[in-house]
């Protein structure tokens, strides 16, 4: 438990992805089975408990600590599990520190009424950081800023194998993953992925570099289709077992029971999850209403019905067709969908084109209807097999040009990790005129990338030189009609928002240019953003 507690403690404060990977990989290398396996399962969310309900915790701690002192302490710390972990009075002697595996196995076997007693015994045996780790585990959700994918990446790094291999295997493995570690450490055979309807690691596209790539690519080698603005999904049905996977292999089926119920085929379809009404894709904002939820309800299902726009076929019946070239897979997909005639799956059509110039024109001016809402175009090599990961060459995404506005820098916040000494997160605003004709800035968004290191240094110096007020890590920067820094902000789309003062929210905003030359009063008006909403 000690090593696991120490790992969680470090992860919770470590901002950099690489440092997190080092921490987890080192932990996996240094910790024996089955301890590390249970830890990995906790990190990936494959085991979780909600044994320590707040009421249970309060009851247990109030038997040990004065209620008044506890209340003051909780008030100061602000987190129940952490307060209990810190305040727990040590009983010297007799207490043996429990191992993580012991905790997991005891909880699996315990009846509900036994749980408070177990928790009390473990708390007695653990030091403060161990108590915190235990309570984090028992209250469900570690929340230490590590995604399941990164945890799998760390496991893959341990064995020097691509993360895709671990992801594909994942669904045939069970915690504490003795067979996985044996394979990763070269002591055993690679586990066989045989679970029905398991996730197949997805193939991803590179962003195209128009200047460098297009000139050396032959348009005849590529198929083009619209890049739909939804969420990548993989719908798999094998022997009646159905799953809907996200692009990272998370099982998102439970959030879309309406869709799952209507899927009836044998195979694996790669496509885009979209809100669809009468066969037409709705904007991303509609889909967002159904994302980030573990389950759903009838009201949401009725208001935001979803479907899949298919663009690839990985399994045709029981046959794995991933090694076939895209041309053949596409033909199989078309036949497959035509025979299926499903009301919730349609086909992403290909766009014929003769030259890159013709395709560029199509991208710049999509025909009316659904293509107008697409994010751009996808290019897929006709002869490419379906390869996990992001290989360079077979698939490209060619995104539409972003929207641009000129906004004025209003606030800057210190960054994290490498950027902790820089003011690198920028809140910017546009002009709004009140009833009296007075112009003032209203914040419309926040961006923290899109600039070079040299530009960051200059922006940081500007913020420090022109601070008018400080609020903890945030500085207000001088911004008025006479003086201010204009930022050209690029973004993908705009939505109405009741949470933002300006009434609009940008999608994917980033700094595209810094207009050192432009007077602040010439920045854009809120009215011009509102026009974009239509």
- The catalytic residues are 227
C-alpha 391: how far from chain center: 21
∠ CA 44-237-387, nearest 5°, is 65
Taking the least distance from each CB to other proteins, the nearer of 465 and 517 is 465
Please compute, for residue 400, the number of CA atoms within 13 A of its CA located in the half-sphere on the CB side.
Answer: 22
The least distance separating other proteins from the CB of residue 421, rounded to whole angstroms, comes to 5
The least distance separating other proteins from the CB of residue 180, rounded to whole angstroms, comes to 24
The least distance separating other proteins from the CB of residue 384, rounded to whole angstroms, comes to 38
Taking the least distance from each CB to other proteins, the nearer of 95 and 442 is 95
∠ CA 224-230-235, nearest 5°, is 85
Taking the least distance from each CB to other proteins, the nearer of 28 and 223 is 28
The least distance separating other proteins from the CB of residue 133, rounded to whole angstroms, comes to 12
The least distance separating other proteins from the CB of residue 97, rounded to whole angstroms, comes to 14
Phi-psi group of 124: left, alpha or beta (phi > 0 → left; psi -120 to 50 → alpha; rest → beta): alpha
How far apart CA 131 and CA 148 sit, in angstroms, is: 23
How far apart CA 238 and CA 482 sit, in angstroms, is: 66
Residue 167, phi then psi, degrees to nearest 5:
-60, -40
Beta-bridge partner residues of 315? 268, 320
Contacts of residue 526, defined as CB under 8 A and 6 or more positions apart, other chains included, come to 430, 431, 432, 442, 444, 502, 504
Residue 62, phi then psi, degrees to nearest 5:
-70, -15
Question: For 266, which DSSP code?
Answer: S
Neighbours of 163 (CB within 10 A): 19
Taking the least distance from each CB to other proteins, the nearer of 68 and 192 is 68
Taking the least distance from each CB to other proteins, the nearer of 128 and 204 is 128
Taking the least distance from each CB to other proteins, the nearer of 419 and 500 is 419
The least distance separating other proteins from the CB of residue 263, rounded to whole angstroms, comes to 43
Residue ranges that bind other proteins, judged by CB under 8 A: 6, 10, 12-15, 19, 22-23, 26, 65-66, 68-70, 72-73, 76-79, 82-83, 86-87, 89-90, 92, 127-129, 414, 416-418, 420-421, 460, 472-473
**Tally of residues, the chain:** 534
Locate all alpha helices (DSSP H) within 317-393, ordered by sequence. Answer: 326-340, 356-364
């Amino acid at each position: 438990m000690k090593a696991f507690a120490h790992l969680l403690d470090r992860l919770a404060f470590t901002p950099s992805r690489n440092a997190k990977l080092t921490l987890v990989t080192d932990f996996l290398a240094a910790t024996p089975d089955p301890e590390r396996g249970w830890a990995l399962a906790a990190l990936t969310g494959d085991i979780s408990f909600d044994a320590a309900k707040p009421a249970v915790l309060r009851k247990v701690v109030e038997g040990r600590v004065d209620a008044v002192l506890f209340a003051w302490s909780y008030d100061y710390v602000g987190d129940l599990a952490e307060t209990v972990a810190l305040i727990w009075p040590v009983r010297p002697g007799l207490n043996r520190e429990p191992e993580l595996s012991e905790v997991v196995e005891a909880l699996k076997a315990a009846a509900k009424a036994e749980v408070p007693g177990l928790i009390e015994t473990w708390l007695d045996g653990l030091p403060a950081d161990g108590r915190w780790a235990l309570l984090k585990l028992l209250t469900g959700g570690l929340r230490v800023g590590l995604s399941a994918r990164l945890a799998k990446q760390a496991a893959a790094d341990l064995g020097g194998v691509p993360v895709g291999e671990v992801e594909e295997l994942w669904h045939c493995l069970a915690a504490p993953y003795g067979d996985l570690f044996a394979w990763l450490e070269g002591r055993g055979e690679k586990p066989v992925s045989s679970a029905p309807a398991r996730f197949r690691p997805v193939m991803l596209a590179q962003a195209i570099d128009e200047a460098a790539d297009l000139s050396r690519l032959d348009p005849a080698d590529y198929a083009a289709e619209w890049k739909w603005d939804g969420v990548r999904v993989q719908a798999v049905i094998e022997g009646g077992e159905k799953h809907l996977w996200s692009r990272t292999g998370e099982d998102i089926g439970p959030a879309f029971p309406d869709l799952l119920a209507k899927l009836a085929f044998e195979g694996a379809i790669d496509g885009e999850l979209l809100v669809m009404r009468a066969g037409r894709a709705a904007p991303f904002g509609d889909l967002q209403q159904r994302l980030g939820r573990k389950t759903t309800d009838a009201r949401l299902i009725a208001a935001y019905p979803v479907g899949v726009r298919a663009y690839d076929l990985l399994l045709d019946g029981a046959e794995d067709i991933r090694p076939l070239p895209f041309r053949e897979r596409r033909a199989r997909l078309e036949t497959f969908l035509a025979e299926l005639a499903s009301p919730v799956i349609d086909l992403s059509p290909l766009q014929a084109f003769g030259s890159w110039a013709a395709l560029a024109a199509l991208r710049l001016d999509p025909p009316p209807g659904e293509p107008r809402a697409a994010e751009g175009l996808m290019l897929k090599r006709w002869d490419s097999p379906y390869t996990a990961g992001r290989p360079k060459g077979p698939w490209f995404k060619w995104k539409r040009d972003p929207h641009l506005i000129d906004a004025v820098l209003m606030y800057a916040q210190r960054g994290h990790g490498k950027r902790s000494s820089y003011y690198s997160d920028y809140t910017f605003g546009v002009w709004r005129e009140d009833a009296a004709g007075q112009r003032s800035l209203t914040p419309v968004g926040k961006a923290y990338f899109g600039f070079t290191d040299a530009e960051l240094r200059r922006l940081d110096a500007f913020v420090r030189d022109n601070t008018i007020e400080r609020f903890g890590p945030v500085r207000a920067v001088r911004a008025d009609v006479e003086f201010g820094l204009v930022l050209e902000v690029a973004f993908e789309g705009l939505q109405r928002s009741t949470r933002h003062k300006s009434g609009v929210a940008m999608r994917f905003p980033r700094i595209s240019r810094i207009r050192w030359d432009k007077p602040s009063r010439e920045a854009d008006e809120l009215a011009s953003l509102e026009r974009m909403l239509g």
